[in-house]
Amino acid sequence: MRRDESSLIRWLLIALALGFLGLFLVLPLAAVLAQALGKGTGAYFAALTQPDAWAAIRLTLLVAAIAVPVNIGFGLVASWAIAKFDFRGKSLLISLIDLPFSVSPVISGLVFVLLFGLQGWFGETLRDHNIRVLFAVPGIVLATMFVTFPFVARELIPLMEEQGREEEEAAIVLGAGGFKTFLTVTLPNVKWGLLHGVLLCNARAMGEFGAVSVVSGHIRGLTNTMPLHVEILYNEYDFVGAFAVASLLALLALLTLVAKSALEWRLRDEISALRQS
């Protein structure tokens, strides 16, 4: 019985698919590298060691160092509540947690301008107490936490639901406390899924552009993250500088993909083992 395409059609389809992916995935990456190194490695490293570039790198690391751990905490708490208990409105809650994914990045930034800007709800109070949120680091952190909000939670909820509650119940019946059960039973069970969520959350936290752009005010050396710095340099026609910083972000994306794929193979094995047992 002929169930497969002829090898001519098969190779034609493979060629078409690879052509499309080459055009949209490989060429942009190659362009980043070619532009960054367009004037030689000397210019490339000179661009990366600019003080403004360093400030942008430091700020990006700082923002991720705050936003990602907060996201891990929220993800663990939310998935414990959702996966280990039954209550009404659970699916609505899951949809609400996913909400930031469907909001345009620009709007994610705008809502914080409306809250903390001078004309905003808390604008005057903040000014009276001399607290800067907008056009300062707190605003950038808030906007980043908003756009990364669902990452860890949506990774852990289905995983913990699949794993069930028997192990935790057994630990508690045997006398372990709730927190100890979480640390010694739940956490080891979800560690790979957690890491998977953290990777994606971190990539988004370091790479977020639209939301951060609206709240940052683009102050060089002070409130510029790496993606914002890329934009400024690009608009000033400093292409080597823009693509040099962009190449670091592209490297981060590639490392994220490698680690993510390795984890996915592992997770797939674990889940199939879980289903067989």
Partner 1 sequence: MPKNNPAKPWRVIPGFGLTLGLTLGWLSVLVLIPLTSLFVMASGLSLDQWLAILADTRVQAAFRLSFGGALVAALINAAAGLLVAWVLVRYDFPGRRLIDAMVDLPFALPTAVAGIALAALYAPQGWIGQLIEPLGIKVAFTPLGAIVAMVFVGLPFVVRTVQPVLEDIDSEVEEAAASLGAGRWQTFTRVILPTLAPALLTGFALAFARAVGEYGSVIFIAGNFPGLSEIVPLLIVVRLEQYDYVGATAIAAIMLVASFVLLLAINGLQRWNRDRLSRGAA
The Cα–Cα gap between 200 and 56 comes to 21
Between 199 and 218, how does the x/- string for binding to partner 1 read (CB under 8 A)? -x--x--xxxxx--xx----
Out of 57, 136, 137, 165, name the contact with partner 1 by CB under 8 A: 165
Answer for which of 46, 48, 62, 115 binds partner 1 (CB under 8 A) is 115
Nearest to 230, CA basis, from 222, 258, 70, 218: 218
100 binds partner 1 (CB under 8 A): yes
- Which residue is associated with the tokens 């060089």? 220
CB of 54 to partner 1, least distance (A): 18
Interface positions, 173-202, toward partner 1 (CB under 8 A): 173, 177-178, 181-182, 200
Tell me how far, at minimum, the Cβ of 249 lies from partner 1, in Å.
Answer: 5
- At 9, the amino acid letter reads I
> Between residue 7 and residue 46, which ones bind partner 1 under the rule CB under 8 A?
10, 13-14, 16-18, 20-21, 23-29, 31-32, 35
Structure token pair of residue 66: 């705050």
Q: Does 123 bind partner 1 (CB under 8 A)?
A: no
Q: Quick check: 103 binds partner 1 (CB under 8 A)?
A: yes
Choose one: 5-13, 45-53, 130-138, 187-195; the region binding partner 1 (CB under 8 A).
5-13
Burial state string for 165-200 with b = 16 or more CB within 10 A and e = fewer than 16: eeebeebeeeebeeeebbeebbeebbebbbbbbbbb
In the chain, alpha helices (H): 7-21, 27-36, 40-48, 51-84, 90-98, 105-116, 123-128, 137-148, 151-163, 166-173, 178-181, 187-207, 210-216, 226-235, 239-276
What sign has the CA pseudo-torsion 158, 161, 167, 170?
positive
Q: Which is nearer to partner 1, 258 or 274 (CB)?
A: 258
Applying CB under 8 A, among 82, 152, 190, 201 the residue interacting with partner 1 is 82
Total chain residues near partner 1 (CB under 8 A) = 97
Contact window for partner 1 (CB under 8 A) among 40-48, 99-107, 124-132, 189-197: 99-107
**Tokens, residue 205:** 């936290």
Binders of partner 1 among 43-72, rule CB under 8 A? none
Q: Using the rule CB under 8 A, is 2 a contact of partner 1?
A: yes
